[in-house]
Amino acid sequence: MKERIRKELSFQLEEQIRRDPLFSQIRRGHYHEGDRWAISQPDGTVDESEFTQIAEKYTIEPKDVIEKGPSAIIENQLKLAEKVRRKHYELFIRKMQAVTEKTGNLVDAQGHPFTPELFLELLEKVEIDFDDQGRPRLPALVVSPELATRIKEKMPEWETNQDYKKAFEDLIKKKKQQWDDRESYRKLVD
Amino acid sequence: MIERAIENWLTNTTERYYQTPFCQVLLSEGHRLIYRSTHGQLEQGKDIITIAPDGEYFAYQLKTGDINLAEWRKIRGELQELIELPIVHPEVDKSRVHKSFLVTNGEIKDPVRLQIDQINEDNVRKGRNYSHLSVITLPDLLKYFVDTQGKFIPSELKDFHQFLRFFTSDGRECIDKDLLFNFLNRSFFEEEPKRPSDAFNVVSSSVILTSYLLNRYQISENHFSIFEAWVILGACILRYIIRYNVEEELTSYCSQLVMSEIVNNLKNLKEETFARPDYLEGDLLGDGGLVYRFRKTLVLGCLSALELHIHDYTEGYMIDYRIVQRIKEGFPLEFSSEVFFPYIFCIIKLLELASEPSLALKLLHSVFTDIIRNNSHHRDFGFPSTYYSISDLLAAAYGLDTRKIDLSEFPGSSYTLEPMIHMLAKRNERSILEEWWRPLSDIALMSFKPDYDEDVFLWRSNTGVNWSKFPQAPQSWKDLCTLANDNSETPAFLTRYKAFLRFYILVCPHRANVMTLKVLGS
Predicted confidence at residue B152, as pLDDT, reads 60
* Structural domain contains residue A168: yes
Confidence of residue B40 (pLDDT cuts 50, 70, 90): low
Q: Tell me which of B421, B467, B510 to substitute to probe the interface with A (most A C-beta atoms closer than 10 Å).
A: B467
> Could you count the other beta carbons within 10 Å of the beta carbon of residue B8?
14
Query: Looking at chain B, which residue has its C-alpha nearest residue A186?
Result: B473
* Better-predicted residue by pLDDT, B403 or A32: A32
Which of A103, A137, A153 delimits the end of a domain?
A103
Range of the domain at A32: 2-103
φ/ψ of residue B54, rounded to 5:
-85, 5
Work out the percent of chain B whose per-residue pLDDT is above 90: 73
Mean local confidence (pLDDT), B124-151: 89
- Is there a contact between A187 and B467 if contact means CB atoms under 8 Å apart? no
* Structural domain contains residue A190: no
Q: Is B486 exposed, middle or buried (0-12, 13-18, 19+ CB in 10 A)?
A: exposed
Amino acid residing at B519: V
> Could you count the other beta carbons within 10 Å of the beta carbon of residue B203?
30
Which of A103, A125, A141 delimits the end of a domain?
A103
A146 and A179, same domain (yes or no): yes
Q: Find all residues with CB under 8 Å of B86, minimum gap 6, and list them.
A: B92, B94, B97, B98
- The ipTM estimated for the assembled molecules is 0.85
pTM: 0.88
* Structural domain contains residue A108: no
Amino acid residing at B26: L
- In DSSP terms, B58 is beta-bridged to B50, B99
Query: Looking at chain B, which residue has its C-alpha nearest residue A10?
Result: B403
Assign B57 to helix, strand or coil: strand
**What ranges do the domains of chain B cover?**
1-149, 150-275, 283-303+317-521
A96 and A13, same domain (yes or no): yes
A132 and A97, same domain (yes or no): no
Q: Find all residues with CB under 8 Å of B203, minimum gap 6, and list them.
A: B188, B237, B240, B251, B254, B255
Q: Considering only CB atoms, which residues of chain B are within 8 Å of chain A?
A: 378, 387, 403, 406, 408-409, 411-413, 430, 433-434, 437-438, 441-442, 448, 450, 460-470, 472-478, 480, 510
A138 and A97, same domain (yes or no): no
**CA B20/CA B261 separation, integer angstroms:** 8
> If you count residue pairs, one on A and one on B, with CB atoms under 8 Å apart, how many are there?
89
Q: Which residues of A touch B406 (CB under 8 A)?
A: 28
Please tell me which of the candidates A29, A33, A189 has its beta carbon nearest to residue B476. Answer: A189
In chain A the first and final C-alpha atoms are separated, in Å, by 61
A84 and A132, same domain (yes or no): no
Q: Which residues of B touch A183 (CB under 8 A)?
A: 438
A33 and A83, same domain (yes or no): yes
Q: Which residues of B touch A17 (CB under 8 A)?
A: none
Assign A9 to helix, strand or coil: helix
CATH value of B1-149 in 3.40.1350.10, 3.40.1160.10, 3.20.20.70, 1.10.260.40: 3.40.1350.10
* Structural domain contains residue A169: yes
Alpha helices in chain A (DSSP H): 2-18, 62-68, 70-103, 116-125, 145-160, 162-185
A85 and A135, same domain (yes or no): no
Mean local confidence (pLDDT), B260-264: 95
Please tell me which of the candidates A27, A32, A48 has its beta carbon nearest to residue B465. Answer: A48
Predicted confidence at residue B153, as pLDDT, reads 62
Residue A51 at interface with chain B, using a CB cutoff of 8 Å: no
A85 and A124, same domain (yes or no): no
* Better-predicted residue by pLDDT, B163 or B380: B380
Predicted confidence at residue B164, as pLDDT, reads 82
Please, are residues B317 and B311 in contact by the beta-carbon 8 Å criterion?
yes
- In DSSP terms, B469 is beta-bridged to A40, B445
Radius of gyration of chain A, Cα coordinates, nearest whole angstrom: 22
A98 and A38, same domain (yes or no): yes
Q: What is the largest CA-CA distance in chain B?
A: 88
Average pLDDT, chain B: 92
**CA B302/CA B225 separation, integer angstroms:** 12
A8 and A65, same domain (yes or no): yes
Q: Which residues of A touch B465 (CB under 8 A)?
A: 34, 36-38, 48
A89 and A144, same domain (yes or no): no
Residue A2 at interface with chain B, using a CB cutoff of 8 Å: no
In chain A, the number of structural domains is 2
Assign A141 to helix, strand or coil: coil
- Is there a contact between A42 and B473 if contact means CB atoms under 8 Å apart? yes
Given a cut of 90, whether residue B287 has pLDDT beyond it is no
Given a cut of 80, whether residue B252 has pLDDT beyond it is yes
pLDDT in tens, A77-131: 888 888 888 898 888 888 888 887 777 777 776 777 778 888 888 888 888 999 8
- In DSSP terms, A48 is beta-bridged to A38
A124 and A156, same domain (yes or no): yes
**CA B102/CA B123 separation, integer angstroms:** 17
Which of B224, B13, B2, B206 has the alpha carbon at shortest distance from B106? B13
Which of A66, A82, A103 delimits the end of a domain?
A103
Q: Find all residues with CB under 8 Å of A45, minimum gap 6, and list them.
A: none
Q: How far is A16 from chain B (nearest CA, A)?
A: 15
**CA B341/CA A23 separation, integer angstroms:** 32
* Structural domain contains residue A93: yes
* Structural domain contains residue A125: yes
